[in-house]
Structure 1
Amino acid sequence: METSDLRLFDEVAREGSFTAAAELLGYTQSSVSRRIAALERAAGGPLFERLARGVRLTPAGVALHRHAAAVLERLGRAGEELAAIHGGSGGTLRVGAFATANVSLVPQAMKEFARLRPGVELRLVEGLTGRLMERLQAGAIDVAVISDYPSGLPAAAETVLLREDRLFVALPSGHRLAARDSVDLRDLAEESWIEAAPRGQPTLLAAACARAGFTPRGGLRVAEWAGKFGFVAAGLGVTLVPELAAGAVPADLVLRPLSDLAPSRKVYAALPEVPLPAALTFVGLLGQ
């Protein structure tokens, strides 16, 4: 049974007349009669009683009409949902982002997106750039906020540059350099650095220190930002903090920009080849 036949059957059942249904749907009365007869053959028996004036459903017709109405209602809802997705006003938007982008960049964009597109459900996945790109290419997320650190920008991605993310140094409040407006990286040559990356892995810090003529002294390895800040506050080392995460730095630490040797990274939004309209709206908000 074709969907168009079910729609015709439903209209005849509601109107109780081949003629009235034909007028409503733009068919001829004879065309409606032929199509209903074909539908009855497919159904295995009569669906309507032909009366002197109009028609009425047989018991088989009542049963089929119940199912037809349910099918048509589901198809109608499916059509509305698809229209909302294609129009960017419905469905689900799955966003992937690296950790520091979730301090302020992504939350602010999500807040504005939720105001503009209240019918779209937002979901968030956190991860490193490489893993986020795998998920994007597998169709598991719809947009990814990524950076070119530490291994560069993935080649197989449609990307939009969002911003350059400078890196600052976080110092204990009583540090000898805390009163300066900015800090020269060379003045930190004797400091212990608290990092997340395993020793020997290329980092922005290592590259910047190499340009400054020294190798950074290894310190504690701490993955979470809250832990890093705790160890810096205790005077056990200093750490780099991306500008994106500046708002999360506790008040008992001092955040200072680095001078001409300051390392930086670029932040991008990555999209699939055929992005959702909602994803394009979200990327526009990320870039504001």
Structure 2
Amino acid sequence: MLDSRHLATFHEVVGAGSYSAAARTLGCTQPAITQQMKALERSVGMPLFVRVGRRLGLTEAGEALARHTGVILDHLSAAEQQLHSLARLRGGRVRICAFPSANATLVPEAIARLLADHPGIRVELQEEEPPASLRRLPEGSCDIALAFSYPGFQVGASADLMEYPLMEDLLTVLLPVGHPAARRQTVRLPDLAAERWIAGCPRCQANLLHACAEQGFTPDIVFATDDNLAIQNLVSVGAGIALMPALVLAFLRHDKVTARAVEPHARRRIAAYVLREHAQVPAIAQVLKVLQEAASAHDGC
């Protein structure tokens, strides 16, 4: 194994033309240079220098090493600079995998904070509903996964993941403007038993079925889509009503749709997950911090 310090000294000796000149440039003694070059020759297993009269020349092995040393040292320097930037939060890549409503609200708000304070951190976005998003962490295809869970429907995070709670997202019922139930500030879920329903993603649909079952009825689900805009459009034309998280309403507001809190109150829980060994990576830790800051503005909405 070649010692990078010896390579740096060798590079200086080759450039200076002698041990004594290299010693003056490096601020050390000539014997110290001699010892390092002997150690380097032992590592490569053959002589690197030859005396040509009063000049210091290179053997064939020395010439071969000299052709590579500059490139090796440049690469080491670049690596050191990049690692220094990562440690000082000036750079780094963080891949986030989140569900659609988080990618439309929490993630952009977090990125805005990063652009202001840590513009060197590059964030790449992926989209996936839980629990599939969590599976990307051990696969190595993302660094942070955002996921939601409902009471009785947990995401099933494995023991090698760390959880960072972000917010509680209030569930609301979407009604077409003019719907009789819209005259009240809150709506009892059993009062909606006769309605036609529009369901969201599979986990959201499972939660709708569970919540209604607890109130003694089975909802008549006539449409199911994970497209939040499509759900609002369907509600607006009277095709049905929908149980939707308040976070979605922060970026989609249809003028022919209104939202009301439901009784009993229900919320989904949103959290970020990372592999335990990655939690202390500076760029990842900073992205987690700004995600928590962005989520605090929406918590309990």
Provide TM-score, normalisation by structure 2.
0.82
Render the CA deviation track for 1:89-111: whole Å, top value 9, x for unaligned: 22211111112111211110112
State the partner residue of 1:282: 287
Q: How does 1:1-288 map to 2 (within 5 A)?
A: 1-25=2-26, 27-36=28-37, 39=40, 42=44, 47=49, 55=56, 64-149=65-150, 151-153=153-155, 154-156=157-159, 157-197=161-201, 203-274=206-277, 275=279, 276-288=281-293
2 CA distance for matches of 1:250 and 1:2?
63
Please state how far the C-alpha of 1:26 moved relative to its aligned partner.
5.8
Shift of 1:264: 1.1
Q: Which runs of 4+ in 1 moved over 6 A?
A: 56-60
In 1, Cα distance between the equivalents of 2:202 and 2:117?
Answer: 42
Distance 1:198 1:32 in 2: 69
Deviates more, 1:63-72 or 1:238-247: 63-72
How far has the Cα of 1:129 moved from its partner? 1.7
* Structure 2 gap ranges (5+): 294-301
CA distance in 1, matches of 2:48, 2:207: 78
What's the CA shift string for 1:169-217, capped at 9, x where partnerless?
Answer: 1111232223433322222111111013569x97222232233332222
Q: Which secondary structure state, in structure 1, belongs to the residue aligned with residue 173 of structure 2?
A: strand
Q: TM-score, normalised by structure 1?
A: 0.86
Per-residue CA distance 1:195-243 (angstroms, 9 max, x = gap)? 13569x9722223223333222221122311221221112100112211
How many residue pairs are counted as aligned between the two chains? 286
Please list the CA deviations of residues 50-104 of structure 1 after superposition, one character each: whole Å capped at 9, or x if unmatched: 675x757789866643421111001110111122233332221111111211121
CA distance in 2, matches of 1:46, 1:278: 43
Query: Unaligned stretches of 5+ in structure 1?
Result: none
- Matches of 1:81 and 1:198, distance apart in 2: 42
Letter in 2 for 1:182: T
**CA distance 1:91–1:174, shift in 2 (3 Å):** same
Cα distance in 1 between the residues matched to 2:260 and 2:77: 57
C-alpha contact (below 8 Å) 1:100/1:242 kept by paired residues: no
Q: What per-residue deviation string (whole Å, max 9, x for no partner) do you get for residues 11-38 of structure 1? A: 2233334124335546531232244356
Give the % identical residues.
Answer: 33
